[in-house]
């Protein structure tokens, strides 16, 4: 299959067949990450710019490792070290990067739509590593890869509860779009102030109390509570939030017997998830991190080699 997409802006652009291709490609690369020498020449001579205008530990490092394990040259650029701090526009910054002829730009930005803005102005692939509250497609794909490792390829009939600050979460939005497309029942649980106004329109069931949202759930995805939400008046008190919504082992008693727990990180232990649950055997949090490298290797490979395959066909 010739990969049909120049860019990855959100999972909504992907068909089920596209998603399967990403999953199969990631599975083929996963083995590389377990080798003593974790490197193959697949993308030798290719250049990947990691343009992160927002702070990131997991996503940036994961893309960096993914690129290097495929032998691509990766170049990191942060807002603090770029001309954006001198007043240069985003357009001029990316056109400058484009003039250096990279094969892909991996981009994170605080503004929703920033990745799309850049993709329409450069000829190389643009991979959205998170834009505002809009989308985080590679996080959703790695979450799916992690769940398929446990449940197999068919997720129809499974129930996933997404718990926490859904309103301000690009991770939640991309996961809702991807999981509902694959036949998963998605529940959202949060205080009313942390749910988007169009929550039901997203195709998810909405809960304001934790216990019914967890009933018979096959997996629970906790979201990081951004502590500045309290300053914004969206939460009365962190202790009260934790009392009502912190995920604990006891609160999972009515979930499915083998319920799995996910979190995209970073974690506020004791606020959105109990510390002992984050480290428990049914926690997939570190599996998500490992999946991220394989999935991002697949994403880089499919987008960077797309044109070459098309020319050969």
Annotated binding residues, written as ranges, equal: 58-59, 86, 108, 136, 139, 170, 224, 265-266
Alpha-helical segments (H) within 165-284: 170-181, 210-214, 228-231, 238-245, 275-278
Q: Is 123 exposed, middle or buried (0-12, 13-18, 19+ CB in 10 A)?
A: exposed
- Rounded distance between C-alpha atoms, residue 31 and residue 249, angstroms: 33
What is the residue whose two structure tokens read 């949060």? 190
Cis amide linkage into residue 266, ω under 30° from 0: yes
- Token pair for residue 212? 């019914």
Going edge to edge, which strands form the sheet with 47-52? 73-78, 47-52, 104-109, 125-131
- Rounded distance between C-alpha atoms, residue 197 and residue 56, angstroms: 28
Contacts of 279 (CB under 8 A, 6+ apart): none
State the sign of the Cα–Cα–Cα–Cα dihedral 145, 110, 47, 58: negative
Do 148 and 23 meet the contact criterion of CB atoms below 8 Å apart?
yes
- Rounded distance between C-alpha atoms, residue 138 and residue 249, angstroms: 29
- For 265, phi and psi rounded to 5 degrees? 75, 160
* Binding-site residue set for carbamoyl phosphate: 58-59, 108, 136, 139, 265-266
Going edge to edge, which strands form the sheet with 159-163? 205-207, 185-189, 159-163, 219-222, 260-262
* Binding-site residue set for L-aspartate: 86, 170, 224
- CA 181-182-187 angle, 5° bins: 75
């Amino acid at each position: 299959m010739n990969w049909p997409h120049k860019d990855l802006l959100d999972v909504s652009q992907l068909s089920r067949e596209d998603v399967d291709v990403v999953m199969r490609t990631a599975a083929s690369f996963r083995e590389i990450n377990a080798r003593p020498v974790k490197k193959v020449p697949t993308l030798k001579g290719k250049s990947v710019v990691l343009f992160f205008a927002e702070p990131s530990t997991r996503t940036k490092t994961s893309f960096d490792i993914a690129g290097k394990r495929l032998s691509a040259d990766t170049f990191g650029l942060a807002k603090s070290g770029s001309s954006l701090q001198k007043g240069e526009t985003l357009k001029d910054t990316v056109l400058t990067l484009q003039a250096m002829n990279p094969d892909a730009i991996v981009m994170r930005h605080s503004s929703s739509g920033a990745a799309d803005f850049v993709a329409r102005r450069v000829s190389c692939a643009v991979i959205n590593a998170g834009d505002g509250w809009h989308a985080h497609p590679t996080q959703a794909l790695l979450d799916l890869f992690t769940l398929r490792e446990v449940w197999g390829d068919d997720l129809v009939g499974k129930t996933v509860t997404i718990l926490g600050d859904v309103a301000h979460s690009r991770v939640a939005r991309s996961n809702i779009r991807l999981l509902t497309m694959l036949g998963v029942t998605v529940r959202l649980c949060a205080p009313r102030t942390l749910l988007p106004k169009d929550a039901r329109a997203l195709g998810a069931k909405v809960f304001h109390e934790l216990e019914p949202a967890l009933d018979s759930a096959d997996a629970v995805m906790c979201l990081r509570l951004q502590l500045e939400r309290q300053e914004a008046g969206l939460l009365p008190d962190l202790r009260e939030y934790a009392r009502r919504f912190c995920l604990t082992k006891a609160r999972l008693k009515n979930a499915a017997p083998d319920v799995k727990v996910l979190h995209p990180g970073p974690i506020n232990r004791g606020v959105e998830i109990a510390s002992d649950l984050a480290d428990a055997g049914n926690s997939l949090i570190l599996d998500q991190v490992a999946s991220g490298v394989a999935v991002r290797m697949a994403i880089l490979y499919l987008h960077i080699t797309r044109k070459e395959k098309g020319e050969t066909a």
